[in-house]
Structure formats: C-alpha cells, structure tokens
Amino acid sequence: MSAIALPRIPVPRRLSAYLRWFLWVLLIALVAAVLVTLVWLAGRYEASQVQRRLERDTGDAVSDIRSAFTRNVQSLQALHSGAPRQDGWRPQAQALLREHREWMRLEWRDQSLASLDAVDTPYRSPVFGRFGRGNAQADVALACANARRVSGPAYSSSYFVSQVDGLGLEVMELCLPLVSGGQLTGYALATYSLGEILAGLVGPQLTRSQEVSFTEADGTRLAMHGSSRRGTRVFTAQQLLDLPGNTLVLRMDSWRGAPDLFPNVLTALVTAMSIALVTVLVMLGKDMRRRLRAEHDLADALAFRKAMEDSLVTGLRARDLQGRITYVNPAFCEMVGFAPEELLGHSTPAPYWPPELADDYRKRQDIRLTGQHAPPREGFESVFMRKDGSRFPVLIIEAPLINALGTQTGWMSAFLDISEQRRIEELSRASQERLQATARLATVGEMASLLSHELNQPLAAISGYATGSLNLLRGGSHALTDIELAMRRIAEQAERAGKVIKSVHDFVRRRDQEREPVAPQALLDAIMPLVSLQARKLRVRIQVTLQDDLPQVLCDRTMVEQVLLNLARNAMQAMDQAGANDPTLGIQVRRAGDGERHTGAKAWVEFSVKDCGPGIPAAVEQRLFTPFYTTKAEGMGLGLSLCRTVVEQHGGFLGFGPNHPSGTIFRFTLPVDPGPQATPPDAASL
C-alpha cells in the first residue's frame, strides 16, 4: 500500500508576519516581566533588610532600657543601705539625680507611705510643683503594693503631669521596698520621665536616624524622641518592655521611608542591562524586519531578473578582472552548446573559441582586460565554435561591470547569433547579383532582338535586289534602267539599315537625359553594403580614401554604381582565387590632374579600385575589354566591356595598370557638375 503524500499547505505571508509579531511581543513582554519582577524582588529584599535592621535596633533599645532600669534599682538600694540618716540622704539623692536625668524626683517614705524626704531633679522645675503630689497618690500606692507583694521593685502605670509652661510630662513611678532585718522599714520612690528614658537610656546611634516612642497597646503615643518622620512610608518595629507591675510598648520608626526604585547598585546595574537588552531586542527586531523586507524585495528582483534572462534570446556572459567566467545565461549556453558547469570558472582559452583563432582572441582579451582600449559601443563581430565543432558568427557588445561602490569588477558581454542574418544577407546579395546579371542579359537580348528584327527586312531586301541584279547581269541583259533601279533600291535599303542601327544606338544613348549631379561619397555609400557583404565572406579588408572637398559629378547614378560594384567584385574575386595572405581592397577618389588623358576646360574626378591579387597577364590585357571574353568559368565576358561603354558614354576614360608590389589598379573618370550657371558645351560651340 503506497503512502499518500499530503500536500504542503503554504502559510500566508500575512499570517507569518502576525506570528513573528506575536513572538516578538511575547519575548518583549517576558523580558519586561522579568525586569519588573527583579526590581520588585530587589525592593522587597531591601525592605525586609530595613525592617529586620529596625527590629534589631528596637530590641537593642529595649535591652538598653531594661539594663538601665536594673542599674537604677541597684543605685536606689545603695542609697538606702546601712540605715541612712535623713540629713545624709538628701545630698546623696541629689547626686543621683544629677547622674540620672531620667529621674524627675526621689522620695523616701515610711511603711505607711508618709513622706520622710524628697528631692527634685536639678535640670527642671519640680514636676509636682503645680498640682502637688496628692494627685498621684493612687498610682504610688498601687506600685508600692505590688512591690511589697513581689518583695522587689515595681512600676506603676504611666500618667500625665501638667506643667506650668502649658506642657506636660508622661511619668511612671518606681517603688522599691526597704527591708532591714527581714522587716519592712519604708519605701524608696523614683519618678521616671518616659521622654527622658528615651533620650538618655536609648543609644544615640539609634535615635539619630530613627524615631523612638513609648505607646500603649492601642497605639497611643505616650512619649517620643528622635528624628521627625519623613517620606511617604515609614518602617515601624514594636517590642514590649515588660516591667514588674507595668508593661510598655517601645516603638521605633525609620525616617528613611520606603526604599528607592533601585535600592542598590547591583539592582540598578541589572535593570540597566535589562533595559539595554530590551532596547537591543527592539532594534534587532527592526533590523530583522528591514532585512526580511530587503530579502523579499531581493528575492522578487532575482526572480524577475531570472525570468527576464530566461526569456532573452541574447546571450549574456560576465567575466571578472582576471578573465574568468562568472556568469552565463541560458541563451548563451544554448548558443554555444555547453552547460553552465562547463563554462563557469574558465579563463583562456574559452571552450567556445575556435582553435585556429585562439591566439588572436587571447591577445584581444588581454588588451580588453587592461582597460586601455574600450570596446566599440556598436559592438564587434567574431566567430565562436559550438560544442559539436561548428562555427557561427556572433556580434559582441561589451561594457564594464561596475559594483555598488563604483568599482569595476569585470566585464559584461552580450552576444547575438548573426548566422541567420548573414545567411539572409548572402541570399539577398546572390539574388541581387542574379537579378543584375539577368537585367544585363535582358538588355543585351533586347538590343540583339531589336537589331535582328529591324535589320531583317532591309537586309532581306538588299539580298533580293543583289540577287536580281546578278541574274540580270548573267542573262546578258543590257537593261541598264533595271540595273540602276536595283542599285538604287539596294542603296535605299542600306540607308534604311543604317537608320535602324542609328535608332538602336540612340536607344542605348538615351540615358544621357537621366544624368544628375551626385556626390562621390553617395556613390560609395550606395555600393558599400554589397561590397562589405562579399568582403566579409571572402575575409577581405576594405580601405576607402576620399580627398577633401570633392565636387559633385554629373552622371547616370545607376550605371556608375554598377561600374564601381563590378570593378570591386572583380578585384575581390581575383584576390580570393589567388589566395592572397592579406587581401585588401582599396577604393580611392580624388581630383584628376591636368593632362591625364583629357583636354579642354572640363574638370574631372578619378575613381580608383586597387587589389593585391596576381595581376593581369600580358596575354589577357589585349582582350580584357573584348565582349564575351572571360577568364571565369561562369562569366559572360560583358562586364568590363559594358563598364567601359558606360564610362565612355559619360565622356570619361576607363583604364588599368599594375599595383605595386602586386595586384591591379582600375581607374575611370567622370565629369564634374558645372552647376546651373555654366554654359553647355554644345551651345558654346555654336
């Protein structure tokens, strides 16, 4: 069972573009999410560090306060040790107040809480100076009751005491029972200021950048100390200060507030790198889109160029500066019969060069690659060889190959197979030659028919009269009248025959009425296409030389062109039959000098046709212009005869001579056009 091949469904370009956009957006969103998460985690970490440090500072502050309270209790016990006297207690109490700013008042009371002595802090006015001590008696009694119960120091709840300056203090009582010999002898009271506790017992390094306060359980602030609150968010840490008989909440607030968006250098560096990565991704995406767009445009351009090159019938070939073939199109491969793999990379000699012409082509290519001589814009002809060995002519048009930077990287050549064109031109030339030969034969035949037809009757009459006269003479007749009549009739018929010949002669000479002024260059231009075709076929080089400022000639243009064409063809055929090494056809036009076979006031122009053939043998020179005499197998022998007739009809002269070192020169002359103001020669002779 054969497998069924599923057709490949092409993805539309728009859907592919949407998919690429979705992937890019997803990638950018992922990078942005990673960046935001990183910053958020860094902020959380920094906040946790701040909070942890703040809680540690709060714990240290509570520990400092608790240690200070313990030392203060020991100081109070030392004050009342050894049953002090009342007059000696006061100075020691004052000394303690100067050492402990957190104490506002020290008191010595008996078992019934009656005051034995009291001392206020020297750093401010008496705390109870405005409303008296009696308002706080309940708090004192409660604290002492707790102290007596636990047999140690006890603290009262904090309470507010108004001052004379309109402010107030939040204070707390410390009651220390005094025991002597196991018996309670009294109480030592110390009044604490919560604000001074925070100011004196908490380390200054903690309050320099943070705010410390005592609060109640519901958050009500009792006393605070430290820097004021700053920022939109404050980190807070709370810890209980558990005292015998009272519990306070110590709160610490950090004025630095929330951490910055980039709390540290590492986070800022990673953020900057992430932003740079996102920027690079965006730029890379734009660059990739431009590249894809350029690739699509390039692919379309290449497809268009390939379709155009495949449709061309002109061969294209590219070569680098070393002469190596770098590109050929299908038309060129089809033209020479080689595959592209057989041509690419080849230098000299190319596979399509004929072996006998390889040296010439190599020299020509070396000159071309040097850049000293630019190829002709109209191109030049050459001969290539197909893979099967057959030769064919081509027209080559070359141009320098310039890259985008303006630097020449090689040569681009276009090739046209002109073998069909040459075949058509050769057929046209041969057909024209046959037509011209037929026309000449028709003219000769017409002249012969006309002469034979017109001369038949007078010649027959002359023959009859002559026969009759002979019969009369043989018969011995002496009728002179009859013989005279016969002789008169013979003379009349002879005169009639002369008139017939003169009329035919006039018919031949009637072209005198069709002469016109023609420039010598125009005569040459008219025949050069036909001459060039035969010269190319026979590999003959043509050299045309015209003297400057040549005047126009008065001639029958068609007949003179035929003369030039006939002389040129005879010269090329002579060189071809002789196998000349460097066949060259020279055509020269100049003013004829005085005394060159001409007399009179007329001016003449001389036309010369030169060849480098074997020359004309002496035996042939005497019969060269004889009608129907020819040395060619297919010739009629009328060409040179008619040429001389035409030239002589124009009043000119046709002759020939040797061309040194080899060959023959044919020269003929034509009269110069006298212009409309000149006087005709016939009129001048009257």
Q: How many residues does the chain have?
A: 686
- The reply to whether 99 and 235 lie within a common domain is yes
Which residue range is the domain that position 444 belongs to?
423-512
DSSP 8-class letter at 672: B
Strand order of the β-sheet with 221-226 is: 221-226, 210-215, 246-254, 235-243
pLDDT recorded at residue 70: 92
Alpha carbons 126 and 473: distance in angstroms, whole number: 208
What spatial distance separates the first Cα and last Cα of the chain, rounded to whole Å? 116
pLDDT of residue 9: 46
Question: What does the DSSP assignment read for 189-251?
Answer: EEEEEHHHHHHHHS-HHHHSSEEEEEE-TT--EEEEEESPP-SS--EEEEEEEEETTEEEEEE
What confidence category does residue 137 fall into, taking pLDDT thresholds of 50, 70 and 90? confident
Q: At what angle do helices 639-649 and 557-578 cross, to 10 degrees?
A: 150
Q: How far is CA 100 from CA 68, 75, 190, 197, 375, in A?
A: 10, 10, 11, 9, 115
Gap between the Cα atoms of 418 and 364, Å rounded: 21
Greater confidence (437 vs 319) lies with: 319
Asked if 225 and 211 count as a contact pair (C-beta separation under 8 A), the reply is: yes
Based on the fold, state whether residues 243 and 118 are members of the same structural domain.
Answer: yes
Q: Report which of 109, 110, 111 is spatially closest to residue 119, judged by C-alpha positions.
A: 109
CATH number of residue 202's parent domain: 3.30.450
Residue 110 lies in a domain: yes
pLDDT, tens digit (0-9, with 9 covering 90-100), for 14-51: 666 677 778 778 877 887 787 778 777 777 777 788 88
Whether 258 shows a pLDDT value over 70: the answer reads no
Q: Is 235 exposed, middle or buried (0-12, 13-18, 19+ CB in 10 A)?
A: buried
Q: d(Cα 114, Cα 98) in Å, to the nearest integer?
A: 25
Domain-ending residue, one of 490, 512, 534? 512
425 CB contacts (<8 Å, ≥6 apart)?
533
Cross-strand bridge partners of residue 183: 180
Phi, psi of 320 (to 5 degrees): -85, -175
Question: In this structure, what CATH number is given to the domain that contains residue 438?
Answer: 1.10.287.130
Residue 348, burial from CB neighbour count under 10 angstroms (0-12, 13-18, 19+): middle
Which tokens belong to 30? Answer: 């992922």
Query: Quick check: pTM over 0.95?
Result: no
Please, which pLDDT band fits residue 256 given cuts at 50, 70 and 90? low
Residue 430 and residue 350 in one domain? no
656 and 555 share one domain: yes
666 lies in the same domain as 584: yes
Q: Is residue 432 part of a domain?
A: yes
% of the chain with per-residue pLDDT over 90: 10
Q: Are residues 378 and 493 in the same domain?
A: no
Assess whether 603 and 586 both reside in one domain: yes
Tokens of 412: 């681009």
Task: Name the band, by pLDDT with cuts 50, 70 and 90, for residue 552.
Answer: very high
507 & 527 share domain: no
Same domain, 402 and 462: no
Output the CA angle 183-185-187, nearest 5 degrees.
125
- Is the four-CA dihedral 593, 599, 602, 607 of positive or negative sign? negative
Contacts 24+ apart (CB under 8 A), 26-33: 27/281, 28/278, 28/281, 28/282, 31/274, 31/277, 31/278, 31/281, 32/278
Place of tokens 């025959």: 497
* pLDDT, position 154: 93
Distance separating alpha carbons of residues 512 and 510, to the nearest angstrom: 5
What is the four-CA torsion angle of 471, 477, 482, 485, rounded to 10 degrees? 60
- Tell me the one-letter amino acid at 115: S
- Reported as a single tens digit per residue, the pLDDT across 566-582 is 888 888 888 888 777 77
Q: What angle do CA 443, 444, 449 make, to 5 degrees?
A: 100
Of 272, 224, 231, whose CA–CA distance to 50 is shortest?
Answer: 231
Claim to verify: residue 476 and residue 373 sit in the same structural domain: no
User: Is 101 a domain residue?
Assistant: yes
CATH no. for residue 358?
3.30.450.20
Residue 608: its H or E element: strand 604-610
Is 399 inside a domain boundary? yes
Q: Is 247 left (phi over 0), alpha (psi -120 to 50) or beta?
A: beta
Q: Which residue has the higher pLDDT, 210 or 104?
A: 104
- Residue 674 dihedral angles phi and psi, to the nearest 5°: -75, -15
- Identify which of 609, 610, 612 has the alpha carbon closest to the alpha carbon of residue 580: 612
Across the range 254-275, mean pLDDT stands at 64
Strands (E), 387-435: 391-402, 408-417
Q: Is the pLDDT of residue 268 over 90?
A: no
Of 22-26, 94-98, 330-334, 349-353, least confident by mean pLDDT is 22-26
* Domain assignment present for 327: no
Band (1; pLDDT cuts 50, 70, 90): very low
Chain center to CA of 546: 52
Q: In percent, how much of the chain has pLDDT > 70?
A: 80
Q: How many domains would you assign to the chain?
A: 4
How far apart (Å, rounded) are the C-alpha atoms in residues 585 and 521? Answer: 17
Residues 555/669, Cβ–Cβ less than 8 Å: no
362 within a domain of the structure (yes/no): yes
Quote the CA–CA distance of 170 and 185 in Å, as a whole number. Answer: 29
Q: Can you give the pLDDT at residue 511?
A: 45
Residue 453 contacts by C-beta under 8 Å, 6 or more apart in sequence? Answer: none
- Please provide the DSSP assignment of 274-338 as one string: HHHHHHHHHHHHHHHHHHHHHHHHHHHHHHHHHHHHHH-SSEEEEEETTS-EEEE-HHHHHHHT-
Q: What is the DSSP string of 129-171?
A: TTT-SGGGHHHHHHHHHHHHHHTS-EEPPPEEEE-TTS-EEEE
Average pLDDT, rounded, for the chain? 79
**Which one-letter DSSP state was computed for residue 685?**
H
Q: Quick check: 186 pLDDT over 70?
A: yes
Please give the Cα distance from 250 to 62 (Å, whole number). Answer: 7
Dump pLDDT digits (tens) for 447-478.
565 455 456 556 766 777 777 777 777 766 55
Is pLDDT larger for residue 165 or for residue 183? 183
- Tally of CA atoms within 13 A in the half-sphere of 249 that contains its CB: 13
* pLDDT for residue 8: 46
- Rounded (5°) CA angle 593-597-598: 75
Helix (H, G, I), strand (E, B) or coil at 607: strand
Which of 402, 417, 432 delimits the end of a domain? 417
User: In whole angstroms, how large is the CA radius of gyration of the chain?
Assistant: 69
| Helices of type H across 581-685 | 618-621, 639-649, 681-685
Same domain, 187 and 176: yes
519 and 593 assigned to the same domain: yes
Assigned domain for 238 exists: yes
> Which of 254, 281, 296 is the endpoint of a domain?
254
Distances (CA, A) of 673 to 524, 593, 642: 17, 17, 23
> Is 169 among the domain residues?
yes
Instruction: Please write the tens of the pLDDT for every residue from 627-662.
Output: 666 666 555 566 677 788 878 888 888 888 888 888
